[in-house]
Amino acid sequence: MLSAKYIKIFIGGVIQGVGFRPFIYRLAREMDLNGWVKNLGGRVEILVNRDKSEDFIQRIMDEAPNSSQIYDIETQIYDGNEVLKDFKILESQREKLGLQPLTKDRAICDVCLLEMEDKTNRHYGYAFTNCTDCGPRYSILKTLPYDRKNTSMSSFKMCSECQNEYKNPEDRRFHAQTNSCLKCAIDLKFYHQGELKGINEQAIEKCAIALKEGKIIALKGIGGFTLICNAMNDESIQRLRKKKHRPKKPFALMVRDIQMALKLVYLSNQEIEALTSSVAPIVLARKKNFMDTEKIAPNIETLGIVLPYSGLHHLLFQQIDFPIVFTSANISGEPIIKNFDELLKKLDGIFDGVLDYEREIVHFIDDSVVRLIAGEMRPIRLGRGLAPLDLNIDINSINVCVGMGAEQKSSLTYAYMDEYIVSPYIGDLDNPDTEKRYEEIFDFFGQIYSLKPDILARDLHNNHHSSIISAKKSTQIQCKEIKIQHHQAHFCAIFAEAILQGMDIKKENKVLGIIWDGSGLGDDGNIWGGEIFLGNLCSIERIGHFKPFGLIGGEEAIKKIYKIGYGLALECGANKIIESYEKIIPKKESMLLKMMFEKNINTIKTTSVGRLFDAVASICGLVQNNHYDGQTGMILEKLSKGSLTQECYDFKITQGTILYEKMILQLQEDILTKDFEKIAKKFINTLAKIVLDFALSYPGYCVVFSGGVFQNKALCEKILELFKPHNIRFYMHKLLPPNDTCISFGQAVYAQYHFRDKK
């Protein structure tokens, strides 16, 4: 019977844009199988002889391309009556098949780099050389399936030689959708002060000369434009800071190779492995020479380092011998710019020259940022190479849900059945352009998967832009809208990630959740940020928090942090600190602030640990105005590394409330010594000891951590040190950042669990 001769195989995972169909083709030919392979929506469908199918499937799992990830394989007997005589790659089909992983952008591979350096190869010196194992993917994708016609490569016709590679099963560019070479090139252009000065090879030369002359260049990367300049030229750096209105925020550096990086930072094997991976993220590493790098990353311990990850970057470094400042081309608070016209409209006057190319960037995407914390490389920003992030949680909800994310460091998460797709980092939604990009991503995911959301899960705060957009979208598409408290969403995110990381956490297990960050609206209407929860996906109980203290002047105090320090001093009766503030704050302002505190006028109550970092840094006189998010945490972290003290400040926990008055009064006395390194270390030790005390008070429970405070390496590693003698099990984020980028995932997990059996 013909129907018994064949079997269909459906494969899900990261299997498009990674050379998977060519791999299947070659394997089938090698095993003398008849049939075909094709993209089907976001999956791959295969038809082959049934008698060898078990061996075939096993070899697929064993030998799949390194850049692919197989999540599931399904089979079904094929009852067709045709006779298959060979094996083919068929035309792709679009089909609604739920959520499927999107292939991520990958750094240029070593083989392609060798071709670029080979004068006999037609890819010699070609900036856009790539293959089935490397190059842009998500950033150029318009729709599924991943075929050239569905990307921004659709307007570029392959030359005969590229076409031959594309059709040749023995060639490594067999079915490489982004294939091109010097004969069918994507043109590279260099502009200086608005005039075209060079094309292709000449464009690289002109750009390198401009950098050597101290010029600031806007360079089009994989996911958007970056501003670059000579990192050894102080004048260029100061000019860039002034023009970009970025007086203190650290820049990252792109370096030619690991050898150049090692002149600037200390690198462990794990950090080198991350830098040289196909993700090629920015790695936050410990500075070697503070004086040489202070102008790049002032007053902090780390320096962001990234290696060239595109052919264009490598060609540029063939002509320069110095590191370059590498920062997103955008107005502060806005998303990265992705096209030439927008660049001229928004940043004209900031840069001297532009290195542009013709291929469209469909989706902006920032570089990923990672850091070695507590023995693991952990994401700080979810961007190129890491996102869109696909996760699989065994909840199997019948709903399509979208986690709408947070106001800051926003992201979106689409969820259906047991699949979760987390968007790249989007940014802060208080900016109209970021809000526009956010809505574009919402619509793109809905379009690409042909899924209409049943539930939108959003924050409690009705005035957050994510909540306003959620209300608008739920009305437009007529779906349910639910609210999840900010820190409970953090809890759900790390709880779900703990399930993925370890076999010892099940959905029904309760864990102790330490959720510390800058701010989030609490159930009581106050601003939370120093929370301790006990629970699971079913129920979450708030069992502890810091005693609320006042933010005088409301949210303005987050920038003007002397108001937080002054308010905390008033709260604790720290008279010496109060006196020191009244010497530096104008009398009228200090009197007004004190009156506002005493009468509780425009004073928001908060439990935030992030704001405690601000207060301590301000009280010590280290900084009085926040120039960027997390600044005080990084300053205190750097200082803490200069002290070996194991001392803590005193604190008290009464019925779950953490009382810090004694800590502030003792800190008041320590300030007289001006040993700020010891003060910083004692403060971080104290926070770690608070965590330990809660863990010991709830023995047997695994401890999970989320929130931006746990980007602080010194704090995380002190907690690990205190936990070790007690064999306390714990999980910190490894797949998602601990900051608010993980909120959308937590919202989606919560909604899918609580509404899994009902629409």
Residue 573's CATH number: 3.30.420.40
Amino acid at 10: F
Question: Which pLDDT belongs to residue 684?
Answer: 99
Judgement on whether residues 406 and 456 belong to the same structural domain of the protein: yes
CB 564 within 8 A of CB 731: no
Residue 539: pLDDT over 70: yes
Judgement on whether residues 344 and 394 belong to the same structural domain of the protein: no
Judgement on whether residues 335 and 239 belong to the same structural domain of the protein: yes
DSSP string, 57-105: HHHHHHH--TT-EEEEEEEEE--------SEEEPPPB----S--PPPPP
Judgement on whether residues 572 and 688 belong to the same structural domain of the protein: yes
Q: Is residue 623 part of a domain?
A: yes
Residue 130: pLDDT over 80: yes
Judgement on whether residues 691 and 557 belong to the same structural domain of the protein: yes
Domain harbouring 475, CATH code: 3.30.420.360
CB 191 within 8 A of CB 203: no
Judgement on whether residues 422 and 347 belong to the same structural domain of the protein: no
Residue 1: pLDDT over 50: no
Q: Is residue 182 part of a domain?
A: no
Cα→Cα distances 87→28, 33, 74, 494, 557, Å: 7, 7, 20, 45, 67
Question: Which pLDDT belongs to residue 333?
Answer: 77
Alpha helices in 336-431 (DSSP H): 340-347
DSSP string, 294-333: TTTSTTSSEEEEE---SHHHHHHHTS--S-EEEEE-S-TT
Q: Is residue 617 part of a domain?
A: yes
Residue 249, Cα to own-chain centre: how many angstroms? 18
Judgement on whether residues 564 and 709 belong to the same structural domain of the protein: yes
Judgement on whether residues 351 and 398 belong to the same structural domain of the protein: no
Query: What is the pTM (predicted TM-score) of this model?
Result: 0.92
Last residue in a domain, options 428, 453, 484 = 484
Last residue in a domain, options 61, 89, 117 = 89
- What domain count does the chain have? 4
| Residues 570-625 pLDDT 10s | 999 999 999 999 999 999 999 999 999 999 999 999 999 999 999 999 999 999 99
Judgement on whether residues 337 and 197 belong to the same structural domain of the protein: yes
Task: Specify the residue for token string 């096993």.
Answer: 58
Provide the residue range defining the domain that includes 54: 2-89
Question: Which pLDDT belongs to residue 759?
Answer: 60
388: cis peptide before it, omega within 30°?
A: yes
The pLDDT mean for the chain works out to 94
| Residues 13-49 pLDDT 10s | 888 878 898 899 999 989 989 889 988 877 889 998 8
CB 564 within 8 A of CB 614: yes
| Residues 434-484 pLDDT 10s | 999 999 999 999 999 888 999 999 999 999 999 999 999 999 999 999 999
Closest by Cα among 435, 440, 427, 448 to 382: 427
Question: Which pLDDT belongs to residue 374?
Answer: 97
575-576-578 Cα angle (round to 5): 60
| Residues 462-475 pLDDT 10s | 999 999 999 999 99
Question: Which pLDDT belongs to residue 16?
Answer: 81
How many percent of the chain have pLDDT more than 70? 98
CB 352 within 8 A of CB 217: yes
Residue 2: pLDDT over 50: no
Last residue in a domain, options 89, 115, 135 = 89
Question: Which pLDDT belongs to residue 552?
Answer: 96
Q: Is residue 217 part of a domain?
A: yes
Domain harbouring 239, CATH code: 3.90.870.10
Residue 555: pLDDT over 70: yes
Q: Which of 241-245, 484-488, 702-706 has the lowest mean pLDDT?
A: 241-245
Overall average pLDDT of the 629-647 stretch: 96
Overall average pLDDT of the 95-116 stretch: 88
Question: Which pLDDT belongs to residue 146?
Answer: 87
